[in-house]
A and B are shown apart, each in its own frame.
Chain A
């Protein structure tokens, strides 16, 4: 190449670069029409009845709707059902929204609701989510826009079974679902949701485009791309370099770095719970209430929350999310008082302390192991030596199935109604329960057999007193959900970890 030619080429390149620079601000001002969301894993299927996986549910929640939804404060709101009532304690009646169509043109009506629930309630279908909805005895069409859900016993927590977080409760188009082979339903979803399915390249991306006819108003962002990026560092790099607009599972120590342009951080206390359960059914020092209380006084939970969670999340006084139905708002947690802890232990005959086994899984929740280790540090100061046994997920599941959890148990549970947390964790003989108290059982029975929500609140207030005083669970806090965002994105997180883009918009 001759020198003159090289100069010409260089000149052209410089001009091109200048042109690009000039046009860049124009792009920046144009409204962004695509949002890219990074989750830790890909969707597993496009059939809402066949998974138990939150990242899958987040994608499907944009293609489908449920009968009801919850807002960012955890309150129920109408979705495909406009209103609901209890004509009698065994019936939940839903009045459905009119004029809604599925993406393929099918009309949404009571038949679609009945079809969708019958499909997953059928035992032959083997939906893994059956446990969440199995209380529903039958779904009956009253008129084209009214359905009755009937239960064998009063079922006050029905709305938690028909909201999108009850994954199998999303409504499908009956004609399409009947005519389509299961393997195809698992790849080609059709719903009523704000976005239509475009393509799914497994382990790479799910692409959705806005449904302009959405009953709740067309979404502001035209395309949604869901990408699976499991490595935290890589998610953050994508966010910082503009490849991703919304990334979940950000650890607290990354917040400072992400809280400057072009990114920002939003957080919410999740409705998951960090707590220890005590194995109180077999002989051990843990059968003595004073020992259990002493352990409450021994641990400085606030300090742990500050140091490990960066202050994010929410301290709880009893094992229930603060925004859940039945949480006693005025109740205070046990204060940090190691002297009191030692006195109680001495009174119980353990002045010299004792060794205590721990059964836990690790790596399941945000910084679970660090939180546990910090607690054991505090316990050792009052003489309780924790002998930790950390289990791999599936081993933990097997130990649990044999009811082989011992000593101190690091749980992990969620639920936005006292019945959904205390009944499984504390009621005598329940699969997850390592505690028995007839007085509490009676209250929990009453709480779940009434659909009068005021009466239930009074019952759970009494239950909360017993739980705090008898101390079968050692509550820590609700861990945070931390998201990294494109600084121009307006979006609010939900406590139940579901991502909702319906009202998301770029500034």
Chain B
């Protein structure tokens, strides 16, 4: 078990390093930010002078080594546009995004798990068909479309919910729902199908035939096994929620990291994009590491390795 987790940690570090190279090169593919930073009347000479001052004239390799060494010391550089430390800008907005992500994750678990269970145990019933229809919608509607439709209905027509910003719980309802739609749908479908599979297996039939209460069969025996693939997907969904937050936050003008990232990309604010992507990578691989640990706890077979 220790070697299993240790190999996972090493793997995690390699992934983050790879991500740092990828983001460094990808953001530079579209060109450097100097000319966009200067007013239109700046001439070639002024652009060159500013580029040298900002250090974007150096070879990529040198820029990357410089960036990597500083980053290892915790310095992710300065935002060109905002003149503040880049990682600080990301971390400042983190509570807002975590709040939104937590609401979305809670919503998708609270709706997805019961719905998946009920559709599996009442397979073919009207509730199963309804759940599948709703989750089909949830999976196929793009988040921004859902977001704009909700704004039109609840803010502009009914005026019951604030269309944008961050404040109380009311500000989380629409962005939380828009963000949760996809993961709710996927959790429902996945849990349903793995439950159906497990419920047909021999040990469940045995448990039933020896007269165990249906509740105990479902929760103690079936759900525990059916939960493993679902758990994997929940882990992946955390990453998807962070990615989805980029769009959702932009539509609802919600002051989180996703919005920061979108604007930083548009303005080619390299330091901020790098800080955001590396932070997200660390977050996502850490969550996957945590999920690996939970597997070990759920699946006794892994403990013996």
Note whether A and B form a binding pair.
Answer: yes
Which of A's residues lie within 8 Å of B, judged by CB?
41-42, 44-45, 47, 50-53, 126, 128-132, 182-183, 186, 201-205, 227-231, 233-234, 236-238, 240-243, 392-395, 397-398, 400-401, 413, 420, 424, 430-432
Q: Identify the closest chain A residue to B259 (Cβ).
A: A203
Instruction: Provide a sorted-by-A list of 8 A–B residue pairs whose CB atoms are within 8 angstroms.
Output: A45-B81, A45-B83, A129-B39, A130-B46, A227-B164, A234-B148, A241-B162, A397-B31
Interface residues of B in 253-291 (CB under 8 A from A): 253, 255-256, 259-260, 263, 266, 268
Given the contacts A131-B42, A182-B83, A397-B36, A237 and B152 also touching, CB distance less than 8 Å = yes
Question: Is the beta-carbon distance between B156 and A204 smaller than 8 angstroms?
Answer: no
A241-B159, A394-B32 are contacts. A233–B39 as well, Cβ < 8 Å?
Answer: no
A132/B39 in contact, CB under 8 A: yes
Interface centre among A42, A204, A392, A432 (most CB of B within 10 A): A204
From residue A248, how far is it (CB to closest CB) to chain B in Å? 14
B207 beta carbon closer than 8 Å to chain A:
no
Chain B contacts of A128 at CB under 8 A? 37-39, 50
Cα-based distance from A360 to B43 in the complex (angstroms): 19
Contact A237 B163 (CB under 8 A): yes
Kindly list 6 other residue pairs between chains A and B, CB separation below 8 angstroms, not including A128-B39, A240-B155: A230-B259, A234-B164, A237-B151, A241-B163, A394-B33, A400-B35
| Residues from chain A with Cβ under 8 Å of B50 in the complex | 126, 128
Given the interface contacts A236-B156, A394-B36, A413-B40, does A204 sit within 8 Å of B165 by beta carbon?
yes
Cβ of B10 under 8 Å from chain A: no
Q: Which residue of A lies closest to B162 (CB)?
A: A243
Q: Chain A residues near B32 (CB, 8 Å)?
A: 394, 398
Chain A residue at smallest Cβ distance from B51: A401
Q: B31 to chain A: which residues have CB within 8 Å?
A: 394-395, 397-398
A430 to B41, CA, bound (A): 10
CA–CA, A42 and B256, complex, Å = 13
Closest Cβ of chain B to A214, distance in Å, is: 28
Q: Given A186-B82, A186-B84, A203-B255, are A395 and B30 also a contact pair (CB < 8 Å)? A: yes
From B37, B92, B166, B250, give the contact of A52 (CB < 8 A). B37
Given A126-B50, A230-B250, A394-B30, A131 and B38 touching (CB < 8 A)?
yes
Asked if A240 and B47 sit within 8 Å, CB to CB, the answer is: no
Q: Which residues of A contact B253 (CB under 8 A)?
A: 227-231, 234
Given A44-B81, A241-B159, are A393 and B39 neighbors across the interface (CB < 8 Å)?
A: no
Q: Look across to chain B and name the residue whose beta carbon is closest to the beta carbon of A131.
A: B42
Q: Do residues B164 and A45 form an inter-chain contact, with CB atoms below 8 A?
A: no
- Residues in B151-202 with C-beta less than 8 Å from chain A: 151-152, 155-156, 159, 162-166
Complex interface residues of chain B between 25 and 76 (CB less than 8 A to chain A): 30-33, 35-44, 46-47, 50, 53
B89 within 8 A of A: yes
Assembly CA distance A131 to B41 (angstroms): 7
What is the chain A residue whose CB lies nearest that of B269? A44
10 smallest beta-carbon distances between A and B, as pairs: A397-B35, A203-B255, A394-B31, A237-B163, A431-B43, A229-B253, A204-B255, A131-B42, A237-B155, A398-B31
Please tell me if the beta carbons of A51 and B39 are within 8 angstroms of each other in the complex: no
What is the bound-complex CA distance between A392 and B33, given in angstroms? 12
Most buried by B among A53, A237, A420: A237
Query: Does B93 belong to the interface (CB within 8 Å)?
Result: yes
Residues of B within 8 A of A (CB): 30-33, 35-44, 46-47, 50, 53, 81-84, 89, 92-93, 148, 151-152, 155-156, 159, 162-166, 250-253, 255-256, 259-260, 263, 266, 268
A50, A128, A186, A240 pick with most chain B CB within 10 angstroms:
A128
- Please indicate the chain A residues that have their CB under 8 angstroms from the CB of B260 in the complex: 203
Q: How far is the CB of B18 from chain A (nearest CB, A)?
A: 25
Whole-angstrom distance from the CB of A180 to the nearest CB of chain B?
A: 13
Q: Which residues of A contact B81 (CB under 8 A)?
A: 44-45, 51, 53
A126 to B33, CA, bound (A): 15
Q: Which residue of A has the minimal Cβ distance to B262? A: A230
Interchain nearest-CB distance for A127 vs B (Å): 10
Q: A45-B83, A233-B148, A431-B43 are in contact. Are A401 and B35 (CB under 8 A)?
A: yes
Minimum distance in angstroms from A310 CB to a CB of chain B = 21
B46 touches A131 (CB 8 A): yes
Rounded to whole angstroms, the CA-CA distance of A73 and B262 in the bound complex is 36
Which single residue of chain A is at the shortest CB-CB distance from B33? A394
Residue contact A431 to B44, C-beta cutoff 8 Å: yes
B255, A231: Cβ atoms under 8 Å? no
- Residue pair B252, A202 in contact (C-beta under 8 Å): no
- Per the bound structure, the CA–CA distance linking A132 and B250 in Å amounts to 32
> Bound state CA distance, A128 and B162, in angstroms?
37
What's the Cα separation between A51 and B36 when bound, in Å? 11
The CA-CA distance from A113 to B297 in the complex, in Å, is 69
A233 to B152, Cβ gap below 8 A?
yes
How many whole Å from A182's CB to the nearest CB in chain B? 7
Q: In whole Å, how far is B300's beta carbon from the nearest beta carbon of chain A? A: 47
Residue among B32, B39, B46, B92 facing the most chain A CB atoms (10 A cut-off): B39
Expressed in whole angstroms, the minimum distance between the Cβ of A396 and any Cβ of chain B is 9
Q: Considering the chains assembled together, what is the distance between the CA atoms of A424 and B42 in angstroms?
A: 10
Name the residue of chain A whose CB is nearest to the CB of B31: A394
Interface centre among B33, B36, B84, B253 (most CB of A within 10 A): B253
The complex places the Cα of A132 from the Cα of B164 at a distance, in Å, of 36
Complex Cα distance, B250 from A430, in Å, reads: 39
Q: Which chain A residue lies CB-closest to B151?
A: A237
Contacts of B165 in A (CB 8 A): 204-205, 227, 243
Quick one: which of B39, B82, B84 contacts A131, CB cutoff 8 A?
A: B39
